[in-house]
């Protein structure tokens, strides 16, 4: 079943349908949930669309790769921290595990420069602190 069928939503039509975001949306709603990719999840979270699909998929992507992203490594985890912290806190044990996995791996992650490793380490500290701040 497609997202369009599940949510009974319509295509964006008219002059706006050729703009990048409406074009992506029209493509997205034709997908089945298992066809949703990392780029889709990032856009869904940014646009606050179909979060009942996007947030569990984000968890799956982060469990598979704590550095998941489209534009840069770690993008999905940072987006979750900035926009969906309430979801992260509600699922604290899952995100503690994801943060710990990232903590175990980031210093040896060859795609990060030394400055990026330092920045990512600080981000992990902030994420971990935020997970425990709202108890």
pLDDT tens-digit series, residues 26-82:
999 999 999 999 999 999 999 999 999 999 999 999 999 999 999 999 999 999 999
| DSSP one-letter code for 77 | H
Average pLDDT of every residue of the chain = 95
Neighbouring CB atoms inside 10 A of 98's CB total 22
Q: Are 35 and 44 in contact (CB under 8 A)?
A: no
Q: To 10 degrees, what angle do helices 75-83 and 92-105 make?
A: 140
For residue 2, the cross-strand partners are 32
């Amino acid at each position: 079943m497609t997202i369009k069928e599940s949510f009974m939503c319509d295509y964006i039509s008219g002059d706006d349908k050729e703009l990048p975001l409406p074009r992506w949306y029209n493509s997205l709603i034709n997908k089945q949930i298992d066809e949703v990719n990392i780029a889709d999840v990032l856009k869904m979270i940014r646009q606050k669309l179909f979060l009942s699909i996007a947030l569990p998929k984000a968890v799956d992507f982060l469990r598979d790769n704590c550095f998941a992203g489209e534009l840069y490594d770690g993008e999905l985890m940072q987006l979750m921290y900035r926009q969906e912290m309430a979801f992260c806190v509600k699922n604290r044990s899952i995100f503690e595990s994801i943060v710990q996995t990232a903590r175990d791996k980031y210093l040896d992650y060859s795609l990060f420069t030394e400055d990026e490793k330092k920045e990512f380490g600080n981000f992990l500290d902030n994420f971990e602190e935020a997970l425990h701040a709202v108890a």
